[in-house]
Amino acid sequence: MWTLFKKEVSSFLSSLIGYIVIIVFLLINGLFLWVFQMDSNILIFGYANIDGLFTIAPFVFLFLIPAITMRMFAEEKKTGTIEQLFTQPLTDMQIILAKYLAGVILVIISLLPTLIYFFSVYQLGLPPGNIDQGGMWGSYIGLIFLGAAFVAIGLFSSSLTDNQITSFVIAVVLSSFIYIGFEFIWSLNLFGNLDLLIRSLGISAHYSSISRGVIDTRDIIYFFSVIVLFILLTRFILARRKWA
C-alpha cells in the first residue's frame, strides 16, 4: 500500500502538470490577496488577516483537486494497467486508500507555500504579530478537511470513467453541488423548517463553522462521513468488475 502511495505522489510531482497545478493555485490566490483591487486585497482591506485566502481557496480547490484526481483511476483504465494493479497483493480498499492519501498529501503540499502569506501579514501587522492566529489555524484545518472531501469525490469520479476530462468534469460538478448547491437551495426558503437541515448537508456550512476557529465535533463527523461515503462508493464501482 505504501509503495503505491509513494508511486502516486512521486508520479504527480515528477510531472509538469503537477507543478503547473500548484503554481496556478498559488498565483490565483496571490493575485486576489495582493494585486486585484477587491475586498480580499490585504493591502486595501487594511487589517492583519488572510481571510481572503480562505474565501478564495475553496473555489480554486473546485478545479485544482479534480485536476489532481482525474487520472488516478481513469488513466489506469485507459492504459489497461488497472488489471495489473488489481493482481497485486492488495485489497481494493488498500488501493483506494493509497491513492486517496496521496491526493490528500498533494493538497497539503499545495497549501504549504501559502504560509508565506501568513508570514508576510504577520510582519505587516501593527505591531508585528497582531493577527488572529487561532482563527487562521482553524481556517487551515477547515481547508484541509475541505480538500480531503474533494479528493474523495474526485477519486470516485475517476473510478467512473476511463476519460480524464470526463472525470474532471464530473468531479467539478459533484464538488460544486455539495459545496454550494445545498447553500443555494437553503437560500430559496422553500422547505420551511427543513431549510436548516438542507443547509447542513452542504460542505460550505461546516467549512464556515471550522473557519471561525471553533472545532466542533459535528463538523468533524460531517467531513469524515462525506469522505467515507465517497470512498465506499469508489469501492462499489471498482467491485463491479468482479460481477461482469
Whether 179 has a pLDDT exceeding 90, the answer reads yes
Pick from 208, 70, 224, 199: which is nearest to 139 by CA? 208
pLDDT at position 103: 92
**Residues 23-48: what's their mean pLDDT?**
78
pLDDT at position 36: 78
- pLDDT more than 90, % of the chain: 40
pLDDT at position 47: 66
| 11 Cβ contact partners less than 8 Å away, ≥ 6 residues apart | none
Q: Which band of pLDDT confidence, cut at 50, 70 and 90, is reported for residue 187? A: confident
Tens of pLDDT, residue by residue over 196-235, are: 888 889 999 899 888 877 788 999 999 999 999 999 999 9
Positive or negative torsion for Cα 134, 136, 138, 140: negative
CA–CA–CA angle 90, 226, 103 (5° rounding): 50
Whether 244 has a pLDDT exceeding 70, the answer reads no
Least confident of 43-52, 79-88, 163-172: 43-52
**Residue in the block written with cell 488489481:** 86
- C-beta of residue 149 within 8 angstroms of C-beta of residue 223: yes
**Residues 28-32: what's their mean pLDDT?**
87
Residue 138: which domain range?
Answer: 2-242
Rounded Cα distance, 113 and 197, in Å: 36
Least confident of 39-48, 145-154, 155-164, 214-223: 39-48
pLDDT at position 14: 80
Q: Which band of pLDDT confidence, cut at 50, 70 and 90, is reported for residue 170? A: very high
**Residues 85-107: what's their mean pLDDT?**
89
pLDDT at position 185: 85
Q: What is the pTM of this model?
A: 0.91
- pLDDT more than 70, % of the chain: 93
Distance of CA 174 to the CA centre of its chain: 12
CA–CA–CA angle 137, 11, 157 (5° rounding): 70
Q: Which band of pLDDT confidence, cut at 50, 70 and 90, is reported for residue 52? A: confident
Whether 100 has a pLDDT exceeding 90, the answer reads yes
Q: How many domains does the chain have?
A: 1
Least confident of 126-130, 137-141, 171-175: 126-130
Rounded Cα distance, 241 and 227, in Å: 23
Pick from 200, 197, 41, 188: which is nearest to 124 by CA? 41
